[in-house]
């Protein structure tokens, strides 16, 4: 299976699935605005179809009392799938954020976790070089944390993709012949960029990073990271966002500073999704900064991570 099979699958699904087709067409006229913070662009998207995701309840009781919509037996009747390596299925996301939006669940109902599937993530990245793949940890954006899944959209739709090694707020903390690790130096936005031209090298630096997160997060790091990965200039590039909170305080506020946002990969990548119009209206550069600083790992902890990481070498 390759990219053209995937694009054909997308077309076929829109032909046979009326609601999905309607939602993809509606997305073309979605309200969107741009906010600039420290010279970086962020998009704010008003998308009422995403309310199930922004307000998803992910406590144990809520999960147990609902059906899992990623299990094959519970799919919409119009929903087809394309299989990938007898392990994952590509599904069309009927409530899209982006013009081509796939959910890629594991064939089995297993918990959301990245490490056992990290090499699958790398395979997806290299097998579909036009696409960008995402993993949301169970406590930072996954609406269905009980069923392992990735998501995919086309490349170059997220503002973060324009941030690379040359950026003035990026510094290198590791460079070997073919492997590089960079970190963001903006105090409100902790993230890393991993680059390598080969799978083994990428796995090596990922493991080194993860070891440190595991210590800092007392083990449950897999629930508290977002990953965005793609293939570019014949290299793997992965953005990792270590998180401290699932949602900002504005999410729980009843005042007129309420902002209903549950940041996952797409938001951390610079496109904030608001399912209600008031939140969309209120969003501005101060809220972007406030939200990022609350849900990101935080400057002190991130610096501790960098110091500990460097001690390994
Ligand atoms: Zn399931």
pLDDT at 142 over 80: yes
User: Which residues are in the CB-under-5-Å shell of ion ligand 1?
Assistant: 68, 70-71, 109, 147
Q: Which two tokens stand for residue 226?
A: 């977002």
Q: How far apart are the first and last CA of the chain?
A: 40
Percentage above 90 pLDDT, the chain = 84
Residue 211's pLDDT is what?
Answer: 87
Please tell me the pTM assigned to this model: 0.95
CATH 3.30.428.70 is held by the domain 3-165+189-311: yes
* 3-class DSSP string for 130-150: CEEEEEECCCCCCCCCCCCEE
Cα(289) to ligand 1 centroid in Å equals: 35
Burial (0-12, 13-18, 19+ Cβ within 10 Å), 189:
buried
Q: Which two tokens stand for residue 81?
A: 């799938």
Angle at 230 between CA 228 and CA 231, to 5 degrees: 160
Mean pLDDT of 56-60: 76
All residues at 6 or more sequence positions from 307 whose CB lies less than 8 Å from its CB, including other chains: none
Q: Which two tokens stand for residue 29?
A: 């006229």
Q: Which two tokens stand for residue 234?
A: 């014949």
Cα(126) to ligand 1 centroid in Å equals: 26
pLDDT at 43 over 90: yes
* Residues shown for the chain: 313
How far is 203 from 272, CA to CA, in rounded Å? 30
pLDDT at 177 over 90: no
Residue 217's pLDDT is what?
Answer: 78
Cα(263) to ligand 1 centroid in Å equals: 22
Between 177 and 111, where is the model more confident? 111
Taking only the tens place, the pLDDT of each residue in 251-290 is 999 888 899 999 999 999 999 999 999 999 999 999 999 9
Cα(104) to ligand 1 centroid in Å equals: 12
Percentage above 70 pLDDT, the chain = 99
Cα(146) to ligand 1 centroid in Å equals: 7
Beta-bridge partners for 237: 195, 230
Burial 261-276 (b: 16+ CB within 10 A, else e): bbbbbbbbbbbbbbbb
Beta-bridge partners for 134: 151, 228
Taking only the tens place, the pLDDT of each residue in 201-257 is 999 999 999 988 888 877 788 899 999 999 999 999 999 999 999 999 999 998 888
Cα–Cα nearest to 154, from 231, 225, 81, 215? 231
Mean pLDDT of 133-151: 94
Q: Are the beta carbons of 16 and 241 closer than 8 angstroms?
A: no
3-state secondary structure of 98: coil
How far is 79 from 13, CA to CA, in rounded Å? 7
Q: Are the beta carbons of 197 and 178 closer than 8 angstroms?
A: yes
Q: Which two tokens stand for residue 313?
A: 């070498």
Residue 62's pLDDT is what?
Answer: 80
pLDDT at 86 over 80: yes
Cα(109) to ligand 1 centroid in Å equals: 4
pLDDT band with cut points at 50, 70 and 90 for residue 313? confident
Cα(48) to ligand 1 centroid in Å equals: 25
Domain layout of the chain by residue ranges: 3-165+189-311
Mean pLDDT of 13-41: 95
Cα(51) to ligand 1 centroid in Å equals: 20
Residue 39's pLDDT is what?
Answer: 95
Beta-bridge partners for 240: 192, 227
Tell me what the pLDDT averaged over the chain comes to. 94
Cα(4) to ligand 1 centroid in Å equals: 27
């Amino acid at each position: 299976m390759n990219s053209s099979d995937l694009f054909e699958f997308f077309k076929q699904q829109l032909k046979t699935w009326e609601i999905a087709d309607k939602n993809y067409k509606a997305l073309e006229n979605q309200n969107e605005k741009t906010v600039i913070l420290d010279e970086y662009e962020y998009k704010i998207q008003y998308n009422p179809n995403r309310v199930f995701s922004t307000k998803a309840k992910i406590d144990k009781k809520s999960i147990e009392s609902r059906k899992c919509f990623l299990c094959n037996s519970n799919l919409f009747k119009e929903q087809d799938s394309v299989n990938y390596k007898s392990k994952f299925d590509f599904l069309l996301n009927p409530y899209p954020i982006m013009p081509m939006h796939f959910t890629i669940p594991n064939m089995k109902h297993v918990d959301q976790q990245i490490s056992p599937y990290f090499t699958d993530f790398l395979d997806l990245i290299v097998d579909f070089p036009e696409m960008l793949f995402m993993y949301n940890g169970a406590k930072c954006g996954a609406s269905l944390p009980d069923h392992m899944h990735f998501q995919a959209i086309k490349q170059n739709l997220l503002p973060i993709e324009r941030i690379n090694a040359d950026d003035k707020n990026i510094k290198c903390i590791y460079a070997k012949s073919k492997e590089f690790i960079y970190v963001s130096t903006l105090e409100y936005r902790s993230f890393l960029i991993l680059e390598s031209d080969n799978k083994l090298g990428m796995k090596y630096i990922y493991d080194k990073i993860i070891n440190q997160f595991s210590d800092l997060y007392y083990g449950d790091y897999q629930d508290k990271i977002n990953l965005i990965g793609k293939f570019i200039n014949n290299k793997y590039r992965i953005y990792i966002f270590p998180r401290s909170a699932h949602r900002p305080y504005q999410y729980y506020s009843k005042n007129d500073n309420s902002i209903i946002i549950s940041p996952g990969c797409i938001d951390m990548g610079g496109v904030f999704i608001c399912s209600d119009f008031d939140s969309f209206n209120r969003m501005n550069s101060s809220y972007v900064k406030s939200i990022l600083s609350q849900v990101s790992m935080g400057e002190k902890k991130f610096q501790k991570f960098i110091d500990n990481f460097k001690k390994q070498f």
